[in-house]
Amino acid sequence: MKIERIELREVAVRLKFRFETSFGVEQELRKLLLTLYSEGLEGYGECTAGIMPGYSYETVESAWQVLTEFIIPQVIGQDYATPAQLIDDLRLIRGHNMAVATLENAFWDAQAKAAGVPLWVLLGGVRTEIPVGASLGIQPSIDETVALAQRHAAEGYQRLKFKIKPGWDVLPLRAVRAALPEMPLTVDANSAYSLTSARVFQQLDELGLDYIEQPLAHDDLVDHAQLQALLTTPICLDESIHSPEDARKGLQLGSGRVINLKQGRMRGLLAARRAHEVAVSFGAPVWCGGMLELGIGRATNLHLSSLPGFTLPGDTASASRYWDEDLVEPQLDHQDGLQRIPPGPGLGVTIKRDLLARLTVRRATN
């Protein structure tokens, strides 16, 4: 596919809820959307970077800069046969995986559209109905946490994940477990603890959680292995895994037994698929995380989740949970805890152009 032209947009959107995690509070968000033009087709990619470098060092601003100054000038006018060729051509850009993934995702979408097949077919997926859970932010009180949990359980979500931070962990989770004895529950610390808090995790270990997500430092594998050895509950790695090699090292060391795969953090769908293959070879389940995506990113996550190793419910909840109005059609909402991958070619979604124009705050084209 020859990359003829690229348009990059920054859009401003407001989450329907205040999303608090151990690294901060988010509600007014910015997202980058990339459109790749090739042979009469348009491929779309949504950048997963957030405004602040709280989850990752990457930000909307850093991704904008790396895309406009380095990535886009390098690929414009080039002809790549496969996503692997595109990724190889960008090998000298160290890190900035979310920026690279934005273009890589758009390339996959365009390629699937050129082939006339849904993206999941090109990826090698095996299912079109994706089990989903919900990721619930830190609430002002335990009562509100329990009420939120009950509401999402009643809406059919197949697993509930609770953000925790030091001082907000064992008590709210005990209350939720008492209210929902049979519900699959998990926690996500977003790297907020160290090994000195092992006692907190030993208490959480008694609540029958499906896993404990990224309890320790964002760049750690060694301490996670030590903590995992103390626990029955599997540790799920998120922030620590940036490549298929990281996945191998983490599973080999016993740093965790589950991986939250986010294709943006991994440099795109190709690397995420390879990391998924690594996990399968270790017998470790994976699931697709979320980064509060709009429709393009949400659809990308659903296609990735079609791969055989994605055996745990993902964070790709209903678009209507997050947004008053999403940017794409069809609307990506779950039914009975299942998201259906839209059937059209590529991502299977179209962009609402009027809405996109209204939300755009910055635009660059080549």
What residues line the site for ligand OSB (CB under 6 A)? 55, 135, 188, 190, 238, 289-292, 315, 317
Minimum distance of ligand OSB from residue 94's CB (angstroms) = 22
Of the candidates 2, 31, 163, 165, the residue annotated as catalytic is: 163
Number of neighbours of residue 89 by Cβ within 10 angstroms: 14
Task: Answer yes or no: are the C-beta atoms of 48 and 290 closer than 8 Å.
Answer: no
Q: Would you count residue 326 as binding Mg ion (CB under 5 A)?
A: no
Q: Which residue is nearest to Mg ion (CB)?
A: 238
Token digits for 225? 């292995």
- Residue linked to tokens 């037994």: 257
Strands (E), 98-142: 129-131, 134-136
* Contacted by 326, from ligand OSB, Mg ion, none: CB < 5 to 8 Å by type: none
Number of neighbours of residue 320 by Cβ within 10 angstroms: 14
Of the candidates 2, 113, 262, 352, the residue annotated as catalytic is: 262
Among residues 19 and 80, whose Cβ is nearest to ligand OSB?
A: 19
CA distance 225 to 254: 5
Distance between terminal CA atoms of the chain?
A: 17
AA identity, residue 77: G
Q: Would you count residue 293 as binding Mg ion (CB under 5 A)?
A: no
Minimum distance of ligand OSB from residue 208's CB (angstroms) = 21
**Footprint of Mg ion on 198-257 (CB under 5 A):** 213, 238
Among residues 188 and 326, whose Cβ is nearest to Mg ion?
A: 188
CA distance 123 to 207: 37
Task: Answer yes or no: are the C-beta atoms of 160 and 183 closer than 8 Å.
Answer: yes
* Contacted by 315, from ligand OSB, Mg ion, none: CB < 5 to 8 Å by type: ligand OSB
* Contacted by 290, from Mg ion, ligand OSB, none: CB < 5 to 8 Å by type: ligand OSB
Among residues 26 and 188, whose Cβ is nearest to Mg ion?
A: 188
Q: Would you count residue 188 as binding Mg ion (CB under 5 A)?
A: yes
Task: Answer yes or no: are the C-beta atoms of 72 and 99 closer than 8 Å.
Answer: no
AA identity, residue 325: E
* Contacted by 43, from ligand OSB, Mg ion, none: CB < 5 to 8 Å by type: none
Q: Are strands 5-21 and 24-38 parallel, antiparallel or unpaired?
A: antiparallel
Minimum distance of ligand OSB from residue 89's CB (angstroms) = 29
Would residue 262 show up in a list of annotated catalytic residues for this protein? Answer: yes
Among residues 10 and 188, whose Cβ is nearest to Mg ion?
A: 188
AA identity, residue 163: K
Which residues in this chain contact Mg ion in the complex, by CB under 5 A?
188, 213, 238
The residues that are catalytic are 163, 262
